Structure 1
Amino acid sequence: MMTRASILLLACLTPVMADDWKAPKPADKVAADHFKVPEGLEVTVWASTPDLFNPTNMDIDAAGRIWVAEGVNYRGHNGRRPEGDRIVVIQDKNGDGKADESHTFVQEKGLVAPLGVGVFDNVVIVSQPPDLIKYTDVNRDLKFDPAVDKREVLLTGFNARNHDHSLHSVTGGPDGKWYFNNGNCGAEFTDKSGKTFRMGGDYYKDGGGEWFINSREMAGKKSDDGYMWTAGFSARMNPDGSNAEIIGHGYRNSFEHCTTSLGDLFQNDNDDPPACRTSYVLEYGSAGYFTREGRFYKTVQRPNQKWERVHWRQDDPGTFDAGDVYGGGSPTGIVFYENGALGAKHAGTLLSCEAARNVVFGYQPQPEGATYKLDRTDWMTSNTTGEFDGADFTGGAKKQESRSAGNPLLFRPSDVAVGADGALYVTDWFDPRVGGHGDMDESCSGTVYRIAPKGFKPVNPKVDLATIEGAVTALKSPAINVRWTGFEALKAKGDEAVDAVLAVTKDKDTWISARGIWLLANLGPKGEEACKGFLTSTDTRQRLVAYRALKRAGKDILPFAEKLAADPVPAIRRDVALSLRGLPAEKTAPILVTVAKGWDGKDKNYLESIGLAAENQENDVWKVMKAALAPGEPKSWTDAFAKLTWRLWPSAAISDLKSRALDTSVSADARSFACESLSFIDDKGAAEALFEVAAGPDSSAKDAAVGWLFMRGTGAWAKFGLQDELKKRNIYDPDKIQLQEAIFPGKPDKTNFTTADVMKLKGDASRGKAMAARCVMCHQVDGAGPAYGPELKGWVSRQGAEMAVRAIVDPSAEIAHGFDGSAIQLKDNRWIDGLIRSNGDPVVITSQGGVTQMVPKDRIQAIRGMGRSLMLNADQLGMSAQDVADAVEWMKTYK
């Protein structure tokens, strides 16, 4: 008997074969000639509404068909299309470089702005929280028919339907695995091997959507693999959903990631205005948005720490290098271009969509120690002025823009992919607003642009996966999921495919040859031996890929690790360390000693790879390292050994670190660093050691110990019950805190002048610098000021003069994301208005003028959003319209 709940669920999942939604008249698209792309390439319109609506993600199959996931029911518009959202298939049947047909593959009421679609031959994977859905098009007619085709939930347990920070697309890796990622809404999912992964953090029911799991309850809990992960993560698994493993975590909202044929993983991640970024993901590493316990990065902010380093906890052990941190934005789709029609000049280009900035960034990642150097270019952009609008970091958008001319500022690239024809394709969401969980274009218009050499004629090589030759053709495809099908088909051939795959490894294109090396490790004894031969290659890439391929194929890696631990290339030594993770310390520690000897004492990712290798066995590894590296007495340690100890956070080092912190023959900086190292050890003994240092006579070590005791005692070490001791030492006594009421002046009913009035005036930069000094009470100017408000340096060059004027004349009109004011109501009915820095116990809040207070939670009646800016407007600052014009004129030069 079916229950009411099961009937409702069935209705939610019932496919709809016709879409009764009537879209409004499409808005104008951004014209192709508005775009700037590299010389020799051109932008053309491949498809546009009504072929597709609100494209969230796309994939391209071997025949060149583009599959698009739509988000008509996105966020506040859930229900706009009652029949549910769709996966559509768009085709160019006559090969003229422009789509001529579009149809629905599947539409379900349960599809609500799905953020991912991956096509693997006749298998289509759709990312729709709480599920990862697998559709098998049995009769290959490109339409899902439940009477013929198959639908199954591959995995489930991903949080937050209709939320940007949830489950994203699935792509095939060079190792034959499937890769997917999820934002910081969190998850609790069980793979087909029976392992449960608990991805938690202090982000729950934030930003709307439907939440299925309390992600805060997952924080600090180990997964069944024995490791503690935080929400915002990348994972890989077998295509059947088994043997999943987390390969990166601690993200905010990594909208998409991409793998290369070398096996490197890159991602972009969006955050509050100062810290969006593109980065190389160190395998198993944390990006740093959450602490180990799942707390927000703000709770461990250090004094005077630069914001981009705060955001990704770059000064803490246990985080990987952040990469290119470029500031405000809304990064979306990402792809790595290896081979195809664009030519050798563009091979090895990482392309990242940045919807808030109307651009697709381009990078040519260059090895730099254990990471990659990422120099950014505007590879494809409609915005040549550098003035942005309608984004979180510009305060959002409050009115509908004029779209009659296809305003270039409305180009919102949501995804980028490489076609089987070797051209590049970009989907455009087209909207005045991006981020902030909002959209304003009621027509839900979307476009697919093609970027290719001028006069390009598309050719999609025919693929027959039943033959070795056809599978090799697929393996060589520029399209990532097409080449995965070639890998899978050749792997199934086993020994029969070895000779053909060996021929692939000799291809002059290094990206294609790498794909063959990966396969060899999966083709039986003959292939495995051939793969091992590449471990001694003089080509760094071949050694690296061969080692990764053997590890990923489940081979015994230890004999090779011993040989490569002293490889001249840091990236290979890094991978040796990472490959030892989870193996017994008695076998891995001696190898890690060799790896440690190759560290230059500075490379963050290199050090982190050693720490990740030692996870859950830090004490055992550190003891072996101490014996082998012979650093001597604690006072004699080298900086490198002290840094190794800092990263390994071993409780076995507590006594040595205390001795080092108390020894006045050691430099003040080294004593302070010993205190910091103690603070990251998850052991009550480390706290007791810091209490002893805090009681000592040395002021530098004492100050450091007190600072870390406060931060940890009210945070990660709260579980050790240190409150009484913190009170006794006068480090933190909530009963003695004197709170100062701080009520922010209300917004005036009207202003004496408007933005338009100011824009008519000519500004004087020399006078403006003096006017800008008034901003120091909230902003940093030339190093002075509390950084209470957004960064002013480069502000006008990023936002444009008119937006800067508007922010001064009427700050509450558009509030920069991350600077929303809060009002704390105390139980004695006093109020503290300001910007909450940490929402732990105590709550840390900064008010106007940079006054920061710690508010014990037991004194708080309520915390409410203020709904207005924390900045005084021009009238309240005593500024005239001319004063504002002058200040903005000076800020144009403040870069």
Structure 2
Amino acid sequence: MTKRATLTALAACSPLLAADWNPPQAASKVAPMAFEVPEGLEVTVWASTPDLFNPTNMDIDAQGRIWVAEGVNYRRHKGRRPGGDRIVVLQDTDGDGKADSSHTFVQEEGLIAPLGVGVFDNVVVVSQPPDLIVYTDVDRDLKFDPAVDKREVLLTGFNARNHDHSLHSVTGGPDGKWYFNNGNCGAIFTDRSDKTFTLYGAYKGGGGDWFVNSSKELNKASDDGFKWTSGFSARMNPDGTEVEIIGHGYRNSYEHAVNSFGELFQNDNDDPPACRNSYVLEYGSAGYFTREGQSYRTVKRPGQDHGRAHWRQDDPGTFDVGDIYGGGSPTGVVFYENGALGDSFAGTFLSCEAGRNVIFSYQPEVQGAGYKMERGTFMNSNHDGKFVGSDFVGGGKAQAKTDKGEVDPKQFRPSDVAVGADGAIYVTDWFDPRVGGHADHDDSCSGTIYRIAPKGFKAVNPEFDLNTIEGAIAALRSPAPNVRWTGFDALRKQGAQALPAVSKLLGDKDPWIAIRGVWLLPYLGEDGITKCTELLKSGDERIQLVAFRALKRAGKDVYAAAAQLAHAPSAALRRDAALAMRGLPADKAAPVLIEVAKHWDGSDKNYLEAIGLGAENQEPAVWTAMRETLSPGDPLKWNDSFAKLTWRLWPTTAIGSLKARAMAPSLTKDQREFAIESLSFIDDPAAADAMFDLVTQDTQIKPAATRWLFARGTGAWARFGLKKRLKETGIYDPAKIEITEIIMPGKPASTKFSDQDVLKLKGDAERGKSTAMRCAMCHNINDVGPHYGPDLRGWVARQGEASAVRSIIDPSADIAHGFGGTAVNLKNGKWIDGLIIADGDPVVITANGGITQMVPKNRIKSRQKMNRSLMLNADQLGLSAQDVADIVEWLKSY
């Protein structure tokens, strides 16, 4: 089929496309020469519209066919394609490096911007809330026919349809499991083992169609015995049984990647500016939600850095943040292990960043119980570092054409990245002048697939037969994650007869390929189990680690092995030994956790968190056993390490000791306040009683105790009925709260000068530094002013001079995500316009000038979102056009 015949074939497979929906604009794409990639690699166009439209996610099968989930009906354009969105299959049949065939695999009215497609031989898994749908292409003709093929809803109960923060793609793991994740819309679903999981959180916004209200289930444990918050990652058997939640507390991890060593990496979205790429500590919380499912904003500490506050890095119960890179819109990820790019790229984690027109690269290095992640750039179309069209720069749009008449490369919005069976890297481009804001602005719904490969690359997709051991081994060697999953699955079915071939694979010179065989050993008969057990004594800690994980995932008893690994010199091995104690009775878990605790260096966050996760639901008993074995002595003589262990384990059995430390004049102020903080994280009325005693009996640490008592008494401890006591101690008396009316001035009908007036002027940075202090009533500038408005450090560099000028002249033109205001109407007729930072009782709201007030809920009549910015514009601040030019000039280097 020729390139020119593609649209005709597409229309034939999808009559609705020809009859009911035609893009109103000609398709566009960013030219390959606009991209920067590593030396020796080149970018080529593999496919583009009309082969595909608005690609949200993709997968690549063993034959090199690319399967794409489309989002033509995205958000406000729901119904633009009446027959529903599609899963489309693209092929390069003549091997010239470009797709020449495109057709619909399935189209349904119920497919509305699905965010995931995973292909496992002839099984196609589509993520379409509320359902995780499995299509089996029985006759393997690459077209779903309900009369022949099978369609099954594997799991259901995921919020929300037509929402970015919902159910994402399924990926095959090296252990034969399927991995998927869901954003912070949350879920309540039941697996095929009849276990119900409740992933709750306070987030309810962003439009879309919602199916369950998980906020009604706050503090309810799932059937696995643990409490989880949304968003989350999970793994399961391909038949939907034995689901395990393996990470939670996300905002919106669009996708994750599990490598052949069994390590999970992901990116996560932010409330600007704290997007991150990180290693996911198994069972750990990323920190966006508190244990009680409330937003991080409700527990932000005074003066705390936004990044640390956003992911609650100073609180117990969160894993290491990884790399925070600022504002953005992170999307698809993949882990490159082997293929056409060469050995220097082996072990590279690639992460799409649509808001910054870039794909980041990392080569994670083991660092204690976590990974060091140094950011690099793999693919980039943004050459000046000035961003546009994203929430973190106040929105706006990229221009359609550059000054040279070319398509603006800042419309490159990578939605996914994948490794092909040929070893090349493929990238889908959503292509849009805007990203985020729950909208798309490219009416042509253009989409492109780029290939990144060595110059002159000729694609070869190895042929193999999964019904033979030799063929399954070939599949297991594949660079494409879901292709090698099919090899694992086929070899597992072969059982013991596959052991010789798998044993040979263990000696492969490529460590990424060799390690894949270890996961199979527990399924290959008694000799395979014996061989895997022997690898626990290997001198290579990563082989030991995978052998341990392989036995555990296969359901083998690993307690004895964990007890041995607790003594290992490797922090990573000891970490996994601690995590393996999770769910065991305290008398079994404690000895291993104690041994692991003996080796803690006092600073490794993931290591400490692994101990806490291993002790979950058994913390008081485990802590008591630790105290008896580690013999820290009198509470006033604890060393810092034991104090930090106590802080993380939040044991009710430590309340008396912590109270004694808080009241001891012999300890430093920091030690006493840390004891108070530790008390505040214990979820028990006795901890609140102790805190009340500290507030009323001690003056030196009374301010810290009062602050924590108010925060918990109106938050996590509110269910203990503390309002009366808070009132009696004078900490919070709703009747005595005096509320000041603060109304933002209305937006002027016009401004005295325009963007172009300012851009014509030459700014003076020295004058601008002084003039900018007028903005300190809302922005923190050089440590002066409140953290009320967006952070201005690096602001102009992020969004560009023109956008910065526009935002100062008219802040309401495009309000930065996370800074939308609320107008609160009080029952006495007064109003407060501001930013709600804690939505409990009281509602805590910060207004212009950084003035923060507590508003009892019973005084609120109504509230509504504001249609204008909380920031004053240039006229209202008394700024001239020259003043704005000066401020922007200074901000360029701030």
TM class by smaller structure = over 0.9
Aligned counterpart, 2:180:
180
The aligned counterpart of 2:108 is 108
1:801 corresponds to:
801
Match of 1:4 in 2: none
User: Residue 782 of structure 1: CA displacement?
Assistant: 1.0
**SS of alignment partner, residue 671 of structure 2:** helix
Partner of 2:244: 245
Output one character per residue of 1:457-497: Cα deviation in whole Å (capped at 9) or x when no partner. 00000021000000000000000000000000000111101
> What secondary structure, in the 3-state scheme, does the structure 1 residue paired with 2:104 have?
strand
Which residue of the partner structure matches residue 414 of structure 1?
A: 415
Contact 1:203 1:215 in 2 (8 A): no
TM-score by length of 1: 0.97
User: In structure 2, what is the equivalent of residue 778 of structure 1?
Assistant: 778
- Kept after mapping to 1: 8 A contact 2:393/2:795: no
Contact 1:664 1:698 in 2 (8 A): no
Partner Cα distance (1:526, 1:195) in 2: 33
| Structure 1 residue matching 2:628: 3-state secondary structure | helix
Partner of residue 697, structure 1: 698
TM alignment of 1:762-841, pairs within 5 A:
762-841=762-841
* Corresponding residue for residue 234 of structure 1: 233
Q: Residue 681 of structure 1 aligns with which residue? A: 682
- Normalised to the residue count of structure 2, the TM-score between the two structures is 0.97
Measure, in 1, the Cα distance between the counterparts of 2:320 and 2:26. 43
Structure 2 contact 521–532 (Cα < 8 Å) conserved: yes
Contact kept in structure 2, 1:662 and 1:698, CA below 8 Å: no
**1:103-182 → structure 2 map (5 Å cutoff):** 103-182=103-182
1:9 corresponds in structure 2 to: none
Rounded Cα–Cα distance in structure 1 between residues aligned with 2:775 and 2:544:
55
| Amino acid aligned to 1:413 | P
2:25, 2:670 → 1: CA distance? 66
Deviation at 1:399, TM superposition (A): 8.6
The residue aligned with 1:429 is: 430
Residue 756 of structure 1: SS of its match in structure 2? helix
Q: CA deviation at 1:367?
A: 1.0
Supply the distance in 2 between the matched residues of 1:542 and 1:398 (Cα, whole angstroms). Answer: 49
Q: Distance in 2 between matches of 1:69 and 1:243?
A: 27
* CA apart distance, 1:533: 1.5
**2:199 corresponds to:** 199
Residue number in structure 1 paired with 2:381:
382
Matches within 5 A, 1:453-472: 453-472=454-473
1:239-259 alpha-carbon deviations (Å, 9 max, x no partner) = 000000100001011100010
TM-superposed CA distance for 1:838, in Å, is 1.0
Please give the secondary structure, in 1, of the residue aligned with 2:291.
coil
- Confirm or deny: 8 A CA contact 1:26 1:49 kept in the other structure: no
User: Aligned residue for 1:310?
Assistant: 309
Q: Tell me what 1:751 maps to.
A: 751
Moved more, 445-454 or 868-877: 868-877
Give the AA of the match of 2:695.
Answer: A
The answer as to whether partners of 1:319 and 1:608 remain within 8 angstroms in 2 is: yes
Deviations 1:335-393 (A, max 9, x none): 00000000001000000000010000011111111111111112100111111111111
Determine the structure 2 residue equivalent to 1:365. 364
Q: Tell me which moved more, 663-672 or 333-342.
A: 663-672
Amino acid paired to 1:820: G
Matched, 1:534 2:554: no
Cα deviation, 1:491-539, whole Å, max 9, x if unaligned, reads 0111101110011111111111110111112212111111112111111
2:256 equivalent to 1:257:
yes
Shift of 1:16: 7.2
SS class of match (1:51): coil
CA shift, 1:697, in A, is 2.7
The 5-angstrom pairing of residues 599-618 of structure 1 reads 599-618=600-619
The separation in 2 between residues aligned to 1:734 and 1:77, in whole angstroms, is: 46
Work out the CA distance in 1 between the residues paired with 2:363 and 2:100. 34
**CA spacing shift, 1:92–1:398, aligned 2, 3 Å:** closer
Q: How many percent identity over aligned positions?
A: 68
Deviations 1:392-448 (A, max 9, x none): 111222697448622101000000000000000000000011111110011100000
Preserved contact between residue 581 and residue 612 of structure 1 (Cα < 8 Å):
yes
- State the match for 1:877 in structure 2: 877
1:219 deviation in Å?
2.4
**How far off its partner does 1:18 sit?**
5.4
Q: Map residues 572-651 of structure 1 onto 2, 5 A cutoff.
A: 572-651=573-652
In structure 2, how many angstroms separate the alpha carbons of the residues matched to 1:635 and 1:25? Answer: 73
What CA distance in whole angstroms lies between the structure 1 residues aligned with 2:789 and 2:689? 38
Aligned 1:6-45 pairs, distance under 5 A: 19=17, 20=19, 21-45=21-45
CA distance in 1, matches of 2:821, 2:157: 34
State the SS of the aligned residue for 1:566: coil
CA contact (8 A) 2:298 2:838 kept: yes
- Cα distance in 2 between the residues matched to 1:517 and 1:339: 17
8 A Cα contact 1:16 1:108, kept in partner: no
Q: Which residue in 2 is equivalent to 1:550? A: 551
The answer as to whether partners of 2:70 and 2:114 remain within 8 angstroms in 1 is: yes
Note if contact 1:58-1:66 (Cα within 8 Å) is conserved in structure 2. Answer: yes
Equivalent residue number for residue 7 of structure 2 = none
**8 Å contact from structure 2 (residues 397, 433) kept in 1:** no
Q: 1:285 and 2:284 equivalent?
A: yes
The 3-state SS of whatever aligns with 2:645 is: helix
Residue equivalent to 1:8: none
One-letter amino acid of the counterpart of residue 819, structure 2 = F
Residue equivalent to 2:3: none
Aligned counterpart, 1:394: 393
Using the alignment, how far apart are the partners of 1:338 and 1:542 within structure 2? 16
Cα distance, 1:215 vs structure 2: 2.3
What's the CA shift for 1:572?
1.0
- Which runs of structure 1 show a deviation greater than 4 angstroms over 4 or more consecutive aligned residues? 15-18
Cα root mean square deviation, aligned: 1.1
User: 1:12 is matched with which residue?
Assistant: none
8 Å Cα contact 2:396/2:814 also seen in 1: yes
What residue ranges of structure 1 are gaps of 5+ in the alignment?
1-14
Corresponding residue SS for 1:189: strand
The CA distance in 2 between the partners of 1:697 and 1:349, in whole Å, is 54
For 2:447, give the aligned amino acid. G
**2:159 and 2:185 in contact (8 A); partners too:** yes
Residues 763-800 of structure 1: per-residue CA shift (max 9 Å, x gap): 11111111111111111111111011111111111111
* Count of equivalent residues: 878
Question: Structure 2 stretches of 5 or more lacking a match?
Answer: 1-12
Match of 1:57, SS?
A: strand
Q: 3-state SS of the aligned residue for 1:735?
A: helix
Matched, 1:865 2:861: no
**1:646-697 per-position Cα deviation (integer Å, ceiling 9, x unaligned):** 1000101111111111111111111111111111111000000111111123
Shift of 1:22: 2.2
Q: Which residue of 1 aligns with 2:507?
A: 506
Q: 2:6 maps to what in 1?
A: none
Q: Following the alignment from structure 2 to structure 1, what is the Cα–Cα distance between the partners of residues 763 and 399?
A: 29
Q: Give CA deviations for 1:2-22 in whole Å, capped at 9, x if unaligned.
A: xxxxxxxxxxxxx97754432
Q: Distance in 1 between matches of 2:399 and 2:152?
A: 41
1:735 is aligned to 735
Q: 1:698 Cα shift?
A: 3.7
